[in-house]
């Protein structure tokens, strides 16, 4: 297993990633029509996930986003594919850096992602919605995307990994809600 000095030096990109999190455009584009490049990113995410047959749909408002997140017909295949990808990255990154060093670096990501709740609340407030529970759900989804992207970075998975793509959607101001029914909803 790599030594602590090696892990600390090579995990610097994770710390740099964490430092950049508060500077993203978190939730700022929610409700806007999807751009062609965002549709392409969403399609790349689905392809990387192995679920390229899902339709892509934008969500126009916070109440609609809340309704999508509460639908019972969410895709278990999507959920399981993400869980399997995350577990594989966790194992690869732990083998690469050691569990303790990796967890230390990921803690910085978690701390940086704390800023997302304020960003979600601000975006919802600008849209005329004061719903602390929905803001927490949005911030939690964003924090999870940060964690997953950091794992992809630690495992040297590359920019085409599904979690790198998902993170880019979030950091650009979107909230990828997930696959519900046969549709990938992006707010």
pLDDT tens digits along 44-59: 999 999 999 999 999 9
Compute the distance between CA of residue 21 and CA of residue 119 in angstroms, rounded to an integer.
11
Three-state SS for 98? coil
Residue 44 CB-half CA count within 13 A: 17
Give the structural domain span for 36: 4-186
- Residue 40 binned pLDDT confidence (cut-offs 50, 70, 90): very high
d(CA 167, CA 176): 9
The candidate with the shortest Cα–Cα distance to 29, out of 62, 54, 55, 56, is: 62
Residue 2: its pLDDT value, please? 46
Assessment of whether the complete model's pTM goes beyond 0.75: yes
What is the per-residue pLDDT across 23-34, written as a single tens digit (0 to 9) for each?
A: 999 999 999 999
Phi and psi angles of residue 55, each rounded to the nearest 5 degrees, phi first: -75, 160
Percent with pLDDT over 90 in the chain: 94
- What is the predicted pLDDT for the residue at 10? 82
The band of 147, judged by pLDDT with boundaries at 50, 70 and 90, is very high
pLDDT of residue 7: 52
Q: What is the mean pLDDT of residues 123-146?
A: 96
Instruction: Tell whether the model's pLDDT for residue 132 goes beyond 90.
Output: yes
Model confidence at 169: pLDDT above 60: yes
Give residue 1's pLDDT. Answer: 46
Task: Give 3's pLDDT tier (boundaries 50, 70, 90).
Answer: very low
Neighbouring residues of 175: CB distance < 8 A, sequence distance ≥ 6: 27, 30, 65, 138, 141, 142, 186, 187
Q: What is the chain's mean pLDDT, rounded?
A: 94
Task: Tally the domains of the chain.
Answer: 1
């Amino acid at each position: 297993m790599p030594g602590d000095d090696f892990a600390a030096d090579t995990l610097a990109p994770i710390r740099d990633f964490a430092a950049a999190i508060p500077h993203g455009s978190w939730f700022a584009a929610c409700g806007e029509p999807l751009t062609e490049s965002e549709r392409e990113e969403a399609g790349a995410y689905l392809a990387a996930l192995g679920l390229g047959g899902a339709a892509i749909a934008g969500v126009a408002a916070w109440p609609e986003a809340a309704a999508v997140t509460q639908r019972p017909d969410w895709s278990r295949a999507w959920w399981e594919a993400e869980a399997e990808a995350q577990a594989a990255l966790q194992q690869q990154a732990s083998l690469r850096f050691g569990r303790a060093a990796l967890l230390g670096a990921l803690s910085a990501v978690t701390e940086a992602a704390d800023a997302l709740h304020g960003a979600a609340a601000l975006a919802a407030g600008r849209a005329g919605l004061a719903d602390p529970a929905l803001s927490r759900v949005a911030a939690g989804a964003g924090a999870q995307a940060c964690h997953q992207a950091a794992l992809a970075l630690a495992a040297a998975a590359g920019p085409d990994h599904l979690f790198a793509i998902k993170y880019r959607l979030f950091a650009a101001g979107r909230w990828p809600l997930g696959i519900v029914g046969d549709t990938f909803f992006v707010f």
